[in-house]
Amino acid sequence: MTRYIFVTGGVVSSLGKGLMAASLGALLQARGYSVRLRKLDPYLNVDPGTMSPYQHGEVYVTDDGAETDLDLGHYERFTGVASRKSDNVTSGRIYSDILSRERRGEFLGGTVQVIPHVTDAIKIFATADADGVDFVICEIGGTVGDIESLPFLEAIRQLGNELPRFSACYIHVTLVPFIAAAGELKTKPTQHSVKELRGIGIQPDVLVCRAEQPLPESECAKIALFCNVRKEAVIPALDASSIYDVPLQYHAVGLDKQVLESFAITDAPAPDLTRWNDIMAAIHHPEGEVTIGVIGKYTGLRDAYKSLSEALVHGGIANKVRVHVLWIDSEIFEREDAVLHLEPLHGILVPGGFGKRGAEGKIAAAKFARERGIPYFGICFGMQMAVIEAARNLAGYNDASSSEFGPCNDPIVGLMTEWDKDGAKESRAADSDMGGTMRLGAYTATLKPDSQVAHIYGTADISERHRHRYEVNMAYREKLESKGMLFSGISPDGRLPEIIEYPAHPWFIGVQYHPELKSKPFDPHPLFASFITAALRQSRLV
Ligand code: GLN
């Protein structure tokens, strides 16, 4: 029997609801239960794929090709359970499906309404595709009190009555601010938030109270009394120095125990937390440090590169070193000498990106890394820029560019108009819709025997997640290979380059996919582990 845990947030956003949900998933797993995690987002975009990283942070891509909320990245990194299309929905998607059904006449002349049609669609989504797992953890995006959240809260309220008894648990995450002038923690915002939630008909079973200062017993008792929650189910949650400490911290204050008790589960196995203890030891007691420069565009907003920065941490765990990341805006190379910024680095990473702005700076970074023998990791856009650099400076195509930046004489990187997906043809044109039309999700690639990447992966066939519209043009392959660049990973039909490397360089690898999306603290991605090893070697040279 599947049980459901609904997570809502109150008072303010950014309280780490997603991390709490991911950590709870990890703790339940540690007790031997199976879990799925999903996110229900109240905004009206059909998915976050068309949203700017400044607005929404990173777009997390699943194996089955969905562009989803970055919280799904946390879920996957903490539990290792691959997320799917059926794990993230928005109001936009729900309405768009209902409205197309209405246009097809499927409501047989009935009036289409928020209750029951929208709420039914939400309930179907929340409970579908659960695979008989023990627990589904459903996080509701936004904050209680938002107009947009109401249908979602109503839907989970209804589910509380419709599911069998002891099958639903409601967790509410709130803030207990510390008012420095008064020297006091304030419980009133939490009281108001729970009042709002109870007004909608939801009585939380567990309250997670985020606070900067330890919550005294007396305050927990007060919150319990005013919010109608058991005292032991008021869970204090202080800031953690690493996100990977969070599962252990929540366990220490009884989160998993309280959740299980709300389901009347009293015989749960004790958790095996070895994995999390090992990760914590590796993070807090590194044996060295390397400095990696990420040459990107959205460097002011860390969430835009969430999976990437985590994958670098994982690469550090694999090598028992701390990875110090310098986020460098590639546009500054257009004004200042790149060498000053790049010389102190032990490794250079150019991540995924879109558009012309800052592209020349990324090309300059690839050139510097190639010429100086510094480890270079180009991801998606970062691979494309490395190939343009080689075309210009090694193969003599002075006008080499990407058609993403406008028409050019040598489109080394061009728009993909046709590719193979599970045996069927996918095609696109320059005027296709923007949303959901990139080459998305898991595709396999075949690695060249004896290449660096074949050694790193230790296998000839890989599957990685993609999100791109442009692709390195195979017409230039021969010329580039004659100049020392190897196309070491290709799509199985032989048409799309997936990986390039320089066999003569200590570590220069560009990949058309996003390996960061599959990296986990307990299973660091081999490319990130190997990149950090190379950076460590570089750090010993300088
Ligand atoms: N803008 C490039 C493309 O669409 C790269 C995309 C990316 O880095 N994810 O192909």
User: Is residue 434 in some structural domain?
Assistant: no
Q: Residues 263, 24: contact at Cβ < 8 Å?
A: no
* Inter-axis angle of helices 188-200 and 150-162, nearest 10: 70
Apex 259 CA angle, 257 and 261, nearest 5: 70
Q: Residues 263, 166: contact at Cβ < 8 Å?
A: yes
Residues 370 and 408 in one domain: yes
Q: Residues 68, 87: contact at Cβ < 8 Å?
A: yes
Residues 53 and 125 in one domain: yes
User: Is residue 475 in some structural domain?
Assistant: yes
Residues 272 and 291 in one domain: no
Which one of 279, 300, 327 terminates a domain?
Answer: 279
Q: Residues 497, 477: contact at Cβ < 8 Å?
A: yes
Q: Residues 209, 215: contact at Cβ < 8 Å?
A: yes
Which one of 279, 295, 326 terminates a domain?
Answer: 279
Residues 205 and 300 in one domain: no
Q: Residues 50, 68: contact at Cβ < 8 Å?
A: no
User: Is residue 508 in some structural domain?
Assistant: yes
| C-alpha to C-alpha distance for 488 and 165, rounded to whole angstroms | 56
Which residue owns the Cα nearest ligand 1 atom 8? 352
Which residue owns the Cα nearest ligand 1 atom 6? 468
Interacting residues of 119 by C-beta distance below 8 A, sequence separation 6+: 151, 154, 155, 158
Range of the domain at 482: 287-414+470-541
If one residue of 380, 385, 443, 512 were mutated to test the ligand 1 pocket, choosing by the most ligand atoms within 8 A of its CB, it would be 380
Residues 241 and 320 in one domain: no
Cβ of 404 below 6 Å from ligand 1: yes
At 217 the pLDDT is 92
Residues 209 and 317 in one domain: no
Residues 317 and 365 in one domain: yes
Residues 243 and 391 in one domain: no
User: Is residue 428 in some structural domain?
Assistant: no
Interacting residues of 41 by C-beta distance below 8 A, sequence separation 6+: 48, 69, 88, 89, 90, 91, 141, 142
Residues 233 and 312 in one domain: no
* DSSP codes joined into one string, 84-110: -GGGEEEHHHHHHHHHHHHHTTTTTTP
How much distance in Å is there from the Cα of 354 to the middle of ligand 1? 5
Residues 270 and 291 in one domain: no
If one residue of 417, 470, 471 were mutated to test the ligand 1 pocket, choosing by the most ligand atoms within 8 A of its CB, it would be 470
At 54 the pLDDT is 76
**Atom of ligand 1 at shortest range from CA of 514:** 9
**Atom of ligand 1 at shortest range from CA of 404:** 1
How much distance in Å is there from the Cα of 528 to the middle of ligand 1? 20
Cβ of 467 below 6 Å from ligand 1: yes
Residues 78 and 159 in one domain: yes
Phi-psi region of 230 (alpha: psi -120 to 50; beta: other; left: phi over 0): beta
Instruction: Tell me the residue type at 175.
Output: L
Cβ of 411 below 6 Å from ligand 1: no
How much distance in Å is there from the Cα of 404 to the middle of ligand 1? 9
| C-alpha to C-alpha distance for 75 and 214, rounded to whole angstroms | 27
If one residue of 52, 59, 354 were mutated to test the ligand 1 pocket, choosing by the most ligand atoms within 8 A of its CB, it would be 354
What CATH number is attached to the domain comprising 60?
3.40.50.300
What CATH number is attached to the domain comprising 320?
3.40.50.880
| C-alpha to C-alpha distance for 139 and 212, rounded to whole angstroms | 23
Query: The dihedral of CA 470, 475, 481, 482: what is its sign?
Result: negative
Which one of 259, 279, 299 terminates a domain?
Answer: 279
φ and ψ at 424, to 5 degrees?
-110, 160
**How many residues belong to the chain?**
542
**Atom of ligand 1 at shortest range from CA of 380:** 8
User: Is residue 159 in some structural domain?
Assistant: yes
Q: Minimal CA–CA distance to 314: which of 63, 71, 59, 533?
A: 533
User: Is residue 334 in some structural domain?
Assistant: yes
**Atom of ligand 1 at shortest range from CA of 352:** 8
At 205 the pLDDT is 97
Cβ of 354 below 6 Å from ligand 1: yes
At 418 the pLDDT is 78
User: Is residue 440 in some structural domain?
Assistant: no
Domain count across the chain = 2
How much distance in Å is there from the Cα of 353 to the middle of ligand 1? 6
Which residue owns the Cα nearest ligand 1 atom 1? 354
Which of the 8 DSSP states describes residue 286?
-
At 57 the pLDDT is 84
How much distance in Å is there from the Cα of 44 to the middle of ligand 1? 25
Q: Can you give the pTM of this predicted structure?
A: 0.93
If one residue of 381, 432, 514 were mutated to test the ligand 1 pocket, choosing by the most ligand atoms within 8 A of its CB, it would be 381
Which residue owns the Cα nearest ligand 1 atom 9? 352
Q: Residues 448, 486: contact at Cβ < 8 Å?
A: yes
CA atoms within 13 A on the CB side of 45: 17
Number of helices followed by number of strands (H, E) in the chain: 18, 25
Active site residues: 380, 514, 516
Quote the distance between the C-alpha of residue 448 and its chain's center: 29
At 191 the pLDDT is 95
Written as six digits, the tokens of 417 are 């108009």
Written as six digits, the tokens of 278 are 């090992």
Residues 112 and 237 in one domain: yes
Which residue owns the Cα nearest ligand 1 atom 7? 352
Give the chain's residues under pLDDT 50: none
SS3 per residue for 234-273: EEEEECCCCHHHHHHHHHHCCHHHHHHHHCCCCCCCCCCC
Which residue owns the Cα nearest ligand 1 atom 5? 381
How much distance in Å is there from the Cα of 357 to the middle of ligand 1? 13
Cβ of 353 below 6 Å from ligand 1: yes
User: Is residue 462 in some structural domain?
Assistant: no
Strands 418-421 and 376-379 come out as unpaired
Q: Minimal CA–CA distance to 187: which of 237, 223, 150?
A: 223
How much distance in Å is there from the Cα of 512 to the middle of ligand 1? 8
